[in-house]
Chains A and B, each alone.
Chain A
Amino acid sequence: MAVPQRNMGPGFWAIRAPISSRRYWLLALVGLLLPLGLWWGVAALELMDKVFMPSPADVARRLVTWATEDELLGDVSISVYRVVAGWALSAVIAVPLGLMIGTWRPVQALLEPLTDFIRYMPAVAFIPLVMLWIGIEESSKIAIIFIGTFFQMVLMVAEDVRRVPAAQVEAAQTLGASRGEIVEQVLLQSAKPALLDTLRITMGWAWTYLVVAELVAANSGLGYSILKAQRFMQTDKIFAGILLIGAIGLVIDQLFRAMHRKSFPWLHFK
C-alpha cells in the first residue's frame, strides 16, 4: 500500500517558485543578521587587532559619542543635502533632455554619443577642474555628485522613453494627437514608472559619490568624517560612517518604492 505523502509544495530550490511572505522576511532577516553575527564573532575572537577590527559594540558606542559629543546630526544633514542637491540638479536637466533624446532621433544622434563618451570619464578626475572652476564652496561638492550621476541618468531616461511601446504612440497618432500631445500625454505618462525607478537607482549612485565629493576641502559630512577617522586610526568611526550611509540609502530606497506603489497602483495588483 502506498504511503500517503503530505504535499509539501515546491521545494526550496524550485525555479522561480513563489514563497510565502513569512518565509521571505525570515530569510531577509537571516541575510541581514548573518553578516552581523559573523562580524561579532570575528571581533570577539580577537583574531585581528581591535584597531583594525572593531566590534559591533565599539561601533555602536562610537555612534553614540558621535551623536552626543560631536556633530552627527550636522554631518548627516549636510551630506543628505549635498547628495540630494546634486541628484536633484541632475534630474531637473536629465529628465527633459533624456525625454528629447528618446523622442527625436536627430537629438539622439546629436547628444547620445557625446554623453556616452563623457560618462566613461571618471568623476574623481574632475575634482581638480571643479576646484579651479567652481572653487571650494558647497557648490563644488554638489558639482562632483552632479557629474557622477547626470550622464548616466540622461541615458537611462532616454532608454525609459524609448521603451514606450510603439503601438501606444501610433494609437495616439491615429486618434489625432499632435506631437506635443503625444510627448505629454503618451510618452511621459507611459514612461513615468520607469522614470521613478531610474531616479531611485541614480539616487543610490549619487550616494556613492559622496565620499569623493567630500574630498574637496570639506569640514563636515559623513564622507569627510570617514576620511578624517582614517587619519586618526578610528576604524570604529569608519565602520559607523559606512553603515550609516548604507542605512540612509536603505530608507531612501524604501521611500521611493512606497512612492512607486502609491503613484502607479495598476502595477501593484496582487
Chain B
Amino acid sequence: MNAKISIRGLTKTFGEGAAAVQALAGIDLDIFDNEFVTFVGASGCGKSTLLRTIGGLEWHDGGELAVSGHSVAGPGADRAMVFQHYSLYPWLSVMDNIKWCRRLKVHTAERTMSDVEAASGRADALLRLMGLAHAGDAYPNQLSGGMQQRVAIARALMPKPEILLMDEPFGALDAQTREVMHDLIRHVHKIEKTTIAFVTHDVEEAIYLGNRVVLMAPRPGRIAQIYDVPLPAQRDQDMKHAPEFLALKKEILARIRETSGMKTDFELLEKLNQPTS
C-alpha cells in the first residue's frame, strides 16, 4: 500500500549561523489514505513545523517529502489547512467564506452548468453539516469561536482536498465546545474520506481523534514514538474513561514530561515563601 504522505529523513533549520535552531531532524513517517494521524509533544518539538512543511508553507532543507507520490514544492489545493484562528475573511459572509475557493482559477477551470450547481449544492451541504444553516449570511465576527472554526473547516473541505491539515484548530475553544468539535471532525473524517493530520498540545484530544498518535520530542524536533490507538473506529465520549484510553494517556503524558525540559525548582519556591526573620 502506497503512503498518501511519505516523509524520509526530513530536516529543517530555522535561522542562520549561530542563531540557527534545528526544528526537525531526520523525520521518517508514512501517512496512509483516509488515516487520522495526530501529533503531540512538548512545545518546540516541531509538530507545527512538520505540519506546515507538509502543507508547503515551510520549506525543508533536507530529506524527502512526497504527497500522492509527488515531491512537495509549495502549497497546493490538495492539502487544505485549518489554523487556530484569524484565518477567516471578515469582509465576507459565512457562505462566501465557505465558497471562497470558487473564486480561484484552479477550481473553476471548467465552468459547466452542472459543475457550478454541484459546487453550490456542496456549499449548502457543508453549511448544514457544520450546523451553520441559520448563519450563512452572518459575518464571521458575529459568530462564537467554535462556530468560526466550523466555518474554517467547511471552507477547507469545500474543494474536496485529499488531505486536511489541522494546526491546533480547537486550541482556543472552551472544553464543552471542543467535545462537540471532536465528534464533528470524526464524523467529517468518516463521510468525506479525507486523510487528516492533526496537531494538538492536548493528549486526550490526540488519542480521542487519532487512529495513530505521533509523539514528538524537542531539541532537535524528532519523532519519539508512534502509538496505535486501541479504540474502535466509531468513537464516543465515554471511551475517554476506558482503562486502555487512560493508560495510553498516562504513558504519553509521562513521555512528554520527560522531554519537555521544564523543571520547577521547588526548593527555591519554598525559600521565596518563607517569612524573613
Q: Using a CB–CB distance below 8 Å, which chain A residues touch chain B?
A: 165, 167-168, 170-178, 181, 185-186, 189-190, 192, 264-267, 269
Contacts and interface: CB of A to CB of B under 8 A. Distances in A.
Contact of A181 (B80, B86, B103, B156): B103
A196 to B, nearest CB: 12
Contacts of B140: 266
Contact of A165 (B75, B86, B107): B86
B81 interface: yes
Contacts of B91: 189-190, 192, 264, 266
B101 A175 contact: yes
B245 interface: no
Contact of B81 (A174, A264, A265, A266): A174
Contacts of A167: 83-87
Given A165-B87, A189-B89, A189-B91, A171 B105 contact: no
8 contacts: A168-B86, A174-B56, A174-B165, A176-B76, A176-B77, A176-B104, A185-B103, A190-B89
Interface in B49-65: 55-57
What interface size band does chain B fall in? Answer: 35 or more
A176 B159 contact: yes
A170 B79 CA distance: 12
Given A181-B103, A181-B105, A175 B156 contact: yes
A167 B85 CA distance: 7
A176 B106 contact: yes
Given A165-B87, A167-B85, A269-B142, A174 B105 contact: no
Contact of A178 (B81, B90, B104, B155): B104
A267 B91 CA distance: 9
Contacts, number: 86
B76 to A, nearest CB: 6
Given A181-B105, A190-B89, A264-B91, A174 B142 contact: no
B89 A186 contact: yes
A173 B56 contact: yes
Interface of B: 55-57, 74-77, 79-81, 83-91, 100-101, 103-107, 139-142, 152, 155-156, 158-159, 165
**Most B CB atoms within 10 A — which of A167, A168, A189?**
A167
A175 B105 contact: no
Contacts of A189: 89, 91
A173 B142 contact: no
B148 to A, nearest CB: 12
A interface, over-half SS: helix
A269 B139 CA distance: 10
A185 B57 CA distance: 19
Contacts of B104: 175-178, 181, 185
B132 to A, nearest CB: 17
Contact of B79 (A174, A177, A190): A174
B142 to A, nearest CB: 7
Nearest to A265: B139
A269 B141 contact: yes
A260 to B, nearest CB: 13
B246 to A, nearest CB: 34
Contacts of B101: 175-176
A266 B104 CA distance: 24
B82 to A, nearest CB: 8
B200 to A, nearest CB: 17
Contacts of B56: 173-174
A22 B224 CA distance: 63
**Most B CB atoms within 10 A — which of A170, A171, A269?**
A171
Nearest to B77: A176
Contacts of A264: 91
A190 B85 CA distance: 15
A231 to B, nearest CB: 52
**Most B CB atoms within 10 A — which of A168, A177, A185, A267?**
A177
Contacts of B107: 176
B115 to A, nearest CB: 16
Contacts of A190: 89-91
